[in-house]
Amino acid sequence: MPRIITIGREFGSGGRELGRRIADDLKIAYYDNEIITRIAERTDLSEDYVKHVMESEPSALLPITVGRSFYMRMDPVMEQNNAIYREQSHLILELAEKSDCVIVGRSADYILRQMQPFRLFVYAQKEHKLERCRKRAAEQEHFTDRELWRHIRDVDRRRARYYQFFTGQTWGDRLNYDLCINTSNAGIKELAEAITRLVG
Protein backbone atom coordinates (compact mmCIF):
# COMPACT_ATOMS: atom_id res chain seq x y z
CA MET A 1 0.00 0.00 0.00
CA PRO A 2 1.39 3.46 -0.89
CA ARG A 3 2.71 5.67 1.91
CA ILE A 4 0.33 8.63 2.10
CA ILE A 5 0.63 11.69 4.33
CA THR A 6 -2.17 14.25 4.48
CA ILE A 7 -1.80 17.68 6.03
CA GLY A 8 -4.62 19.86 7.31
CA ARG A 9 -3.41 23.26 8.42
CA GLU A 10 -4.43 26.57 9.85
CA PHE A 11 -3.62 29.58 7.69
CA GLY A 12 -0.19 30.91 8.59
CA SER A 13 0.86 27.82 10.54
CA GLY A 14 3.52 26.71 8.07
CA GLY A 15 1.69 23.54 7.07
CA ARG A 16 2.42 23.97 3.37
CA GLU A 17 6.15 24.42 3.94
CA LEU A 18 6.14 21.47 6.32
CA GLY A 19 4.47 19.27 3.72
CA ARG A 20 6.93 20.30 1.02
CA ARG A 21 9.91 19.54 3.25
CA ILE A 22 8.53 16.15 4.29
CA ALA A 23 7.97 15.21 0.65
CA ASP A 24 11.48 16.34 -0.27
CA ASP A 25 13.03 14.45 2.66
CA LEU A 26 11.15 11.27 1.80
CA LYS A 27 11.63 11.81 -1.95
CA ILE A 28 7.96 11.32 -2.67
CA ALA A 29 5.36 13.29 -4.63
CA TYR A 30 3.88 16.50 -3.23
CA TYR A 31 0.43 17.84 -4.16
CA ASP A 32 -1.16 21.14 -3.24
CA ASN A 33 -2.13 23.78 -5.80
CA GLU A 34 -1.44 21.25 -8.55
CA ILE A 35 -4.76 19.68 -7.63
CA ILE A 36 -6.59 22.89 -8.55
CA THR A 37 -4.84 22.98 -11.92
CA ARG A 38 -5.75 19.38 -12.71
CA ILE A 39 -9.40 19.82 -11.70
CA ALA A 40 -9.64 22.88 -13.93
CA GLU A 41 -8.25 20.85 -16.83
CA ARG A 42 -10.74 18.02 -16.24
CA THR A 43 -13.80 20.23 -15.87
CA ASP A 44 -13.02 23.01 -18.37
CA LEU A 45 -13.46 25.50 -15.54
CA SER A 46 -10.94 28.24 -14.87
CA GLU A 47 -8.36 27.71 -12.14
CA ASP A 48 -9.54 30.92 -10.48
CA TYR A 49 -13.10 29.62 -10.30
CA VAL A 50 -12.08 26.21 -8.92
CA LYS A 51 -9.87 27.91 -6.32
CA HIS A 52 -12.71 30.26 -5.39
CA VAL A 53 -15.08 27.34 -4.82
CA MET A 54 -12.55 25.45 -2.70
CA GLU A 55 -11.80 28.50 -0.58
CA SER A 56 -15.40 29.60 -0.09
CA GLU A 57 -17.66 28.36 2.65
CA PRO A 58 -20.82 26.60 1.40
CA SER A 59 -23.81 28.88 1.13
CA ALA A 60 -25.78 26.79 3.61
CA LEU A 61 -24.58 24.65 6.48
CA LEU A 62 -26.99 21.77 6.32
CA PRO A 63 -26.39 18.32 7.82
CA ILE A 64 -25.44 15.38 5.62
CA THR A 65 -28.98 14.20 4.99
CA VAL A 66 -31.37 13.61 2.13
CA GLY A 67 -32.44 17.21 2.62
CA ARG A 68 -28.97 18.46 1.79
CA SER A 69 -28.78 16.26 -1.30
CA PHE A 70 -32.16 17.60 -2.41
CA TYR A 71 -30.95 21.15 -1.83
CA MET A 72 -27.87 20.55 -3.99
CA ARG A 73 -29.97 19.22 -6.86
CA MET A 74 -32.25 22.23 -6.70
CA ASP A 75 -29.47 24.82 -6.51
CA PRO A 76 -27.24 24.99 -9.63
CA VAL A 77 -24.40 26.73 -7.76
CA MET A 78 -24.33 24.07 -5.06
CA GLU A 79 -24.53 21.33 -7.68
CA GLN A 80 -21.51 22.87 -9.41
CA ASN A 81 -19.65 23.02 -6.10
CA ASN A 82 -20.58 19.42 -5.40
CA ALA A 83 -19.34 18.40 -8.85
CA ILE A 84 -15.98 20.04 -8.15
CA TYR A 85 -15.72 18.20 -4.84
CA ARG A 86 -16.49 14.89 -6.58
CA GLU A 87 -13.80 15.57 -9.16
CA GLN A 88 -11.40 16.52 -6.36
CA SER A 89 -12.15 13.23 -4.61
CA HIS A 90 -11.57 11.17 -7.76
CA LEU A 91 -8.29 12.95 -8.47
CA ILE A 92 -6.94 12.62 -4.93
CA LEU A 93 -7.73 8.92 -4.92
CA GLU A 94 -5.95 8.49 -8.25
CA LEU A 95 -2.86 10.34 -7.01
CA ALA A 96 -2.73 8.33 -3.78
CA GLU A 97 -3.08 5.03 -5.61
CA LYS A 98 -0.38 6.02 -8.09
CA SER A 99 2.51 6.57 -5.67
CA ASP A 100 3.67 7.60 -2.21
CA CYS A 101 2.81 11.25 -1.66
CA VAL A 102 2.10 14.19 0.62
CA ILE A 103 -1.21 15.97 0.02
CA VAL A 104 -1.89 19.35 1.61
CA GLY A 105 -5.49 20.30 2.41
CA ARG A 106 -8.36 19.43 0.03
CA SER A 107 -10.06 17.21 2.67
CA ALA A 108 -7.57 14.51 1.66
CA ASP A 109 -7.54 12.95 5.13
CA TYR A 110 -11.26 12.19 4.80
CA ILE A 111 -11.27 11.32 1.09
CA LEU A 112 -8.45 8.79 1.62
CA ARG A 113 -9.71 7.39 4.92
CA GLN A 114 -9.99 3.85 3.49
CA MET A 115 -6.28 3.96 2.62
CA GLN A 116 -5.41 4.90 6.22
CA PRO A 117 -3.07 7.82 5.49
CA PHE A 118 -0.87 9.36 8.17
CA ARG A 119 -2.96 12.42 9.01
CA LEU A 120 -1.32 15.60 10.29
CA PHE A 121 -2.95 18.80 11.47
CA VAL A 122 -0.74 21.86 11.80
CA TYR A 123 -1.59 24.89 13.92
CA ALA A 124 0.15 27.82 15.60
CA GLN A 125 -0.42 30.63 18.07
CA LYS A 126 -1.67 34.02 16.89
CA GLU A 127 1.60 35.95 17.03
CA HIS A 128 3.47 33.27 15.12
CA LYS A 129 0.82 33.09 12.42
CA LEU A 130 0.93 36.86 12.00
CA GLU A 131 4.71 36.81 11.75
CA ARG A 132 4.75 33.98 9.21
CA CYS A 133 2.11 35.67 7.05
CA ARG A 134 4.09 38.90 7.08
CA LYS A 135 7.20 37.10 5.85
CA ARG A 136 5.46 35.01 3.18
CA ALA A 137 3.05 37.43 1.47
CA ALA A 138 4.17 40.86 0.29
CA GLU A 139 0.60 41.85 -0.60
CA GLN A 140 -0.33 41.68 3.08
CA GLU A 141 2.30 44.20 4.15
CA HIS A 142 -0.24 47.03 4.04
CA PHE A 143 -2.54 45.20 6.51
CA THR A 144 -2.61 46.27 10.11
CA ASP A 145 -2.20 43.44 12.61
CA ARG A 146 -5.92 43.61 13.28
CA GLU A 147 -6.80 43.40 9.58
CA LEU A 148 -4.35 40.56 8.98
CA TRP A 149 -5.67 38.60 11.96
CA ARG A 150 -9.22 39.05 10.68
CA HIS A 151 -8.09 37.70 7.28
CA ILE A 152 -6.42 34.68 8.90
CA ARG A 153 -9.52 33.88 10.91
CA ASP A 154 -11.76 34.29 7.85
CA VAL A 155 -9.65 31.82 5.84
CA ASP A 156 -9.70 29.29 8.67
CA ARG A 157 -13.45 29.68 9.14
CA ARG A 158 -14.08 29.03 5.44
CA ARG A 159 -11.81 25.98 5.53
CA ALA A 160 -13.61 24.65 8.58
CA ARG A 161 -17.06 25.08 7.09
CA TYR A 162 -16.08 23.61 3.73
CA TYR A 163 -14.58 20.59 5.48
CA GLN A 164 -17.59 20.15 7.74
CA PHE A 165 -20.05 20.51 4.88
CA PHE A 166 -18.48 17.84 2.70
CA THR A 167 -17.17 15.44 5.35
CA GLY A 168 -19.55 15.82 8.28
CA GLN A 169 -16.50 16.07 10.57
CA THR A 170 -14.95 18.89 12.57
CA TRP A 171 -11.89 20.47 10.98
CA GLY A 172 -8.98 20.48 13.41
CA ASP A 173 -10.55 18.02 15.85
CA ARG A 174 -7.66 15.97 17.27
CA LEU A 175 -9.72 12.78 16.99
CA ASN A 176 -9.58 13.06 13.19
CA TYR A 177 -5.78 13.12 13.01
CA ASP A 178 -2.82 10.94 13.93
CA LEU A 179 -0.63 13.87 14.95
CA CYS A 180 -1.39 17.51 15.72
CA ILE A 181 1.61 19.86 15.62
CA ASN A 182 2.01 23.34 17.11
CA THR A 183 4.65 25.07 14.98
CA SER A 184 4.86 28.16 17.19
CA ASN A 185 8.10 27.34 18.98
CA ALA A 186 9.75 24.89 16.61
CA GLY A 187 11.49 25.21 13.26
CA ILE A 188 9.67 23.78 10.24
CA LYS A 189 12.87 22.15 9.01
CA GLU A 190 13.42 20.34 12.32
CA LEU A 191 9.77 19.28 12.50
CA ALA A 192 9.93 17.88 8.98
CA GLU A 193 13.03 15.87 9.85
CA ALA A 194 11.34 14.46 12.95
CA ILE A 195 8.20 13.47 11.04
CA THR A 196 10.29 11.94 8.29
CA ARG A 197 11.97 9.72 10.86
CA LEU A 198 8.60 8.84 12.35
CA VAL A 199 6.92 7.78 9.10
CA GLY A 200 10.02 6.75 7.16
Q: What is the pTM of this model?
A: 0.85
d(CA 195, CA 26) in angstroms, rounded, equals: 10
At 108, phi and psi to the nearest 5? -60, -35
In the 8-state DSSP scheme, what is residue 101?
Answer: E
Q: Percent of the chain beyond pLDDT 70?
A: 86
State the angle between helix axes of 33-43 and 76-98 in degrees (0 to 180), rounded to the nearest 10.
Answer: 120
The pLDDT value recorded for residue 186 is 87
The pLDDT value recorded for residue 67 is 42
Residue 166: pLDDT over 60: yes
pLDDT (tens digit, 9 = 90+) per residue, 135-155?
876 665 678 889 999 999 999
121 DSSP β-pair partners? 8, 180
The pLDDT value recorded for residue 77 is 63
Residue 58: pLDDT over 90: no
More confident residue, 32 or 137: 32
The pLDDT value recorded for residue 188 is 95
Average pLDDT, the chain: 86
In the 8-state DSSP scheme, what is residue 114?
Answer: G
Strands of the sheet containing 29-31, edge to edge, are: 29-31, 101-104, 4-9, 118-123, 179-182
- Burial-class residue 73 by CB neighbours within 10 Å (0-12, 13-18, 19+): exposed
Amino acid at 42: R
d(CA 85, CA 80) in angstroms, rounded, equals: 9
Give the lowest-confidence range in 51-60, 82-91, 132-141. Answer: 51-60
d(CA 85, CA 107) in angstroms, rounded, equals: 9
Confidence of residue 72 (pLDDT cuts 50, 70, 90): very low
The pLDDT value recorded for residue 62 is 43
